[in-house]
Chains A and B, each alone.
Chain A
Amino acid sequence: MSHGASAHSTSMGLDSRKMAFWAFIGSECLLFGTLISTYLIYQGRSVSGPTPGEILNIPVTTVSTFDLLMSSLWMVLALAAVQRGDMKWAKIWLLGVAIGGLIFLGFQVYEFASFVHEGLTLRTNLFGATFFVLTGTHGAHVTVGVLWMVTLWVRAVQGKLGPEHAITVEIAGLYWHFVDVVWIVIFTMVYLLHK
């Protein structure tokens, strides 16, 4: 058995990196669970405005949500391309995911800037504090994901990413899809079910 192959397999025959990453994603569930809980607990308890109903822009956020959903599609297509050794399309899809993530971050920067312009900051009220911490933490995760995708794309361009490294792309994909599912919950809880 080669050392390279055995270095990442567990006694269950599973890839240890993938197993570790699923455990990490599990811990992230608890992080976002507490942040979403905090937002819901303080929802509607702000003593001054702006309130969510006054300030949230549902149409714009719907577009950014669609963008993030599509980036998840491009991620699985990138993984499929890497697995079959089609590096031309792998590079295209990986770049697409990175650009999709940047577009989402652009929407978030626009949203945050418009909120600040309308008088909602982290210190304005309970809504501002919990909203910015929750969506900001998610945005930080998207930023890490974009950097990860750019790194993978650069490695692909350099010819250092091939089918033998598909597991690294799959793990990056797990992270990206998790960021997507967290946003699915945030979009519903924060934007559509606001008080």
Chain B
Amino acid sequence: MPDASGGYPIPDLSGRPRESTGSHPIPAVEHSHPTAGTYLNVAAILTILTLIEVGVFYVPAFKPFLTPILLVLSAVKFVIVVMFYMHLKMDHRFFTLLFGGPLLLATGVMFGLLFLFGVLTIGS
């Protein structure tokens, strides 16, 4: 039942696996969220990576390698946010499956479409 404030009190605030109650399975590992210090370090890393991205964009010497460099930096930023800010690194692996499955499917669809429309070609 909702409490007085209209919300639903949840014993496990993180949504991670909790203790077995009857037929519920016992969680393998209990995790905790990162500290504020970790969050600040992640923010600093994301800022530095963004500055590197923009810096690389403006330096002519990097032009031949611009696409792979930017794609790698973007992927690193993506993974960092998902792992630390969205807590997938610490959360139950099923959440990783729920997110990673469609993400892989979306990536596959993207590559499929890009090959189909000739944006990407084998050996290019």
Chain A interfacial positions (CB closer than 8 Å to B):
1-9, 11-15, 17-19, 22-23, 25-27, 29-30, 32-34, 36-37, 40-41, 43, 58, 62, 65-66, 69-70, 72-73, 75-77, 79-80, 83, 159-168, 170, 173-174, 177-178, 180-181, 184-185, 187-189, 192-193
Chain B interfacial positions (CB closer than 8 Å to A):
1-3, 5-25, 27, 33-34, 36, 39-40, 42-43, 46-47, 50, 53-54, 57, 66-67, 70-71, 73-74, 77-78, 81-82, 85-87, 92, 94-95, 98-99, 101-103, 105-107, 109-110, 113-114, 117, 119
Known: A14-B94, A185-B78. A8 touches B103 (CB 8 A): no
Known: A26-B101, A73-B39. A3 touches B1 (CB 8 A): yes
Q: Is the interface of A mostly helix, strand, loop or mixed?
A: helix
Q: Are A14 and B92 in contact (CB under 8 A)?
A: yes
CB within 8 A of A11: which of B24, B74, B81, B103? B24
Q: Are A29 and B95 in contact (CB under 8 A)?
A: no
Q: Are B81 and A160 in contact (CB under 8 A)?
A: no
Which residues of the other chain, A, contact B20 by a CB distance below 8 angstroms? 13
Q: Are B95 and A70 in contact (CB under 8 A)?
A: no
Q: Are B74 and A185 in contact (CB under 8 A)?
A: yes
CA distance A127 to B80 in the complex (A): 30
CA distance A169 to B92 in the complex (A): 18
Min CB distance, B32 to chain A, in Å?
Answer: 10
Q: Are A192 and B54 in contact (CB under 8 A)?
A: yes
Give me 7 A-to-B residue pairs in the complex whose CB atoms sit less than 8 angstroms apart, sorted by A's number.
A34-B109, A69-B50, A72-B81, A170-B14, A173-B85, A187-B53, A188-B74
Q: Are B99 and A29 in contact (CB under 8 A)?
A: yes
